Amino acid sequence: MADLKAMIEQADDPLLSKDAALTRTRERAMREATLLAEQRKIAFDVEQREEIDTAIGWRAEELAGRPVATDEDGNEIYDPTRLELAANFFQTARGERTPIDQHHQKFLAMSQVKPRTLADDIRSMKLLKKWCQKAGVPPYLQTLTKREAVRFCDELPTMTEKLTPVTLNKTISRLSVYWTWLENRHEVDANIWKGRRLKEPAQTSDQKERPFTEDEMKALLGGEAVPEMHDLMRIAALTGARLDAIVCLRVKDCRDDGVFVFKPQKKEPGPRLCPIHSDLKEIVTRRTKDKTPDDDIFPEWPGVKKAGSLRERSFKTSNQFTEYRRSVHVDDQLEGKRRGLVNFHSFRRWFITKAEQAGQPESTIAVVVGHKRTGMTFGVYSAGPLLEQARLCVEAVKLPAFKKATGGGHD
């Protein structure tokens, strides 16, 4: 028990909020209960478990405090708030109740997701705990059922008015991933979030984000942008790659056999290879000249330097592109929508559209841009027929002829 007491004292963070004494006591008590529950779970020795149970009982009595009065029959009356705290502590320490976030830190540590998704996980848990407090639902795994999950989904839009149904569904999705993890570890019987989803408003064809038109491409490629922006746009248009994957390219990612190696994006299982279009060779040669293998292709955008930032390296790049795009009057904004119908991702849509129009097989286009494929699996290619098919697909896409802003003819 000496080691256990030392662990409890260590868990008492001196930097906790200096709110009301009861709030501090509650936070410390639940940390103690969690530690005791973990120790009790692994205590196979009968005497050790009895020792822990005795400690739980004494601590629960301490939390309940002294009687504040007696009733007509001489029965002792305790402060209801402290009595509730003592009961929650006792049940948690005995493993009868598990706080919904008790295993969340371990879940986060084991999750192999991007920082943004990690932030979504943390935000989702905060929203669920906030809702439990507001709705008067005990925040324990044992007390949250499918009925409470439905209530949470129904009331979620009223808790976060600024978030769209798409973002709110992301909250539900992250909770579902956590519950699936808990289910696999036998901490819960079932995933109460399975199948839960808020209805998203249907979008008509004129409300969906789209590829750039030919005129828009000419305006973008012919405008007075800085050199790195011109290089960036051309790589995007002739690979269909996402912005962050391009900005993060290093010299060694531009292989001597004429292939880009883009870092994994979204749900891609590993790096994605894409043939380098013949119209991009000059850009690659210029940007790799006299550099080491680990040097950046786009040192102009080094990324966010603030420690702990969840923003992707391409955050500032995206802002600069948006500013440039609007300066050449390429925009399509709908009233009431935060995102316009055209953005940097429209290069990716344009590439896919042009490859389709050039008669390239859908399966090959999917391999080139990293879309999930159904049917037979091509896998990651490095040589052979598939590489040649991919190269033909990339070369089938041609940039439109345009006039440069300086009047230097066609490109």
What burial class does residue 372 get, using C-beta atoms within 10 Å of its C-beta: 0-12 exposed, 13-18 middle, 19+ buried?
exposed
Give whichever of 39-48, 89-98, 160-169, 178-187 has the largest mean pLDDT. Answer: 178-187
Quick one: tokens of 247? 């900005």
**Are 395 and 277 spatial neighbours (Cβ–Cβ below 8 Å)?**
yes
Looking at per-residue confidence, does 349 or 17 come out higher?
349
Alpha-helix runs per DSSP H in 273-373:
281-288, 315-327, 345-357, 362-369
What's the rounded mean pLDDT across residues 93-114?
88
Other Cβ atoms closer than 10 A to 192: 21
Closest CA to 41 of 171, 187, 194, 167: 187
**Are 233 and 220 spatial neighbours (Cβ–Cβ below 8 Å)?**
yes
Quick one: tokens of 63? 């939390």
Looking at per-residue confidence, does 6 or 291 come out higher?
291
Q: How confident is the model at residue 354 (pLDDT cuts 50, 70, 90)?
A: very high
Q: How confident is the model at residue 210 (pLDDT cuts 50, 70, 90)?
A: very high
Closest CA to 88 of 13, 37, 40, 39: 37
Q: How confident is the model at residue 1 (pLDDT cuts 50, 70, 90)?
A: very low
What is residue 338's predicted lDDT score, i.e. its pLDDT? 66
State yes or no: pLDDT of 22 exceeds 70. no
Looking at per-residue confidence, does 271 or 14 come out higher?
271
Q: How confident is the model at residue 330 (pLDDT cuts 50, 70, 90)?
A: very high
What is residue 207's predicted lDDT score, i.e. its pLDDT? 58
**Are 362 and 373 spatial neighbours (Cβ–Cβ below 8 Å)?**
no
**Dihedral (Cα; 210, 118, 159, 201), 10-degree rounding:** 20
Quick one: tokens of 142? 């044992």
Residue whose pair of structure tokens reads 């080691």 in the numeric block: 3
Q: Give residue-wise pLDDT tens across range 269-316.
A: 678 889 999 999 999 999 999 999 999 999 999 877 666 666 788 889
**Are 241 and 361 spatial neighbours (Cβ–Cβ below 8 Å)?**
no
Mean pLDDT, the chain, integer? 84
Looking at per-residue confidence, does 382 or 59 come out higher?
59
What is residue 363's predicted lDDT score, i.e. its pLDDT? 86
The number of CA neighbours under 13 Å toward the Cβ of 269 is 5
State yes or no: pLDDT of 21 exceeds 70. no
Residue 277 to residue 279: CA distance in whole angstroms: 5
State yes or no: pLDDT of 201 exceeds 90. no
Residue 235 to residue 221: CA distance in whole angstroms: 11
Alpha-helix runs per DSSP H in 46-96:
46-64, 80-93
In the chain, the amino acid numbered 281 is K
User: Percent of the chain having pLDDT more than 90?
Assistant: 48
State yes or no: pLDDT of 337 exceeds 70. no
Instruction: With both helix axes pointing from N to C terminus, report the angle between 165-184 and 146-159 in degrees, rounded to the nearest 10.
Output: 150
pTM over 0.75: no
What's the rounded mean pLDDT across residues 124-148?
93
Q: How confident is the model at residue 377 (pLDDT cuts 50, 70, 90)?
A: very low
Q: Where are the beta strands (DSSP E) in 134-176?
A: none
Q: Give residue-wise pLDDT tens across range 388-410.
A: 899 999 999 999 988 776 644 44
Give whichever of 7-21, 158-172, 306-320, 352-366 has the largest mean pLDDT. Answer: 352-366
Q: Give residue-wise pLDDT tens across range 226-282.
A: 999 999 999 999 999 999 999 999 999 999 999 999 988 766 667 888 999 999 999
Q: What is the DSSP string of 166-232?
A: HHHHHHHHHHHHHHHHHHHTTSSSS-TTTT--PPPPP--GGGS--PPPHHHHHHHHHS---HHHHHH
What is residue 202's predicted lDDT score, i.e. its pLDDT? 57
Q: Give residue-wise pLDDT tens across range 43-85.
A: 888 888 888 889 889 988 888 888 888 888 888 888 888 888 8
Domains and CATH numbers, the chain: 2-93 (no CATH), 104-184 (no CATH), 212-395 (1.10.443.10)
Q: How confident is the model at residue 372 (pLDDT cuts 50, 70, 90)?
A: low
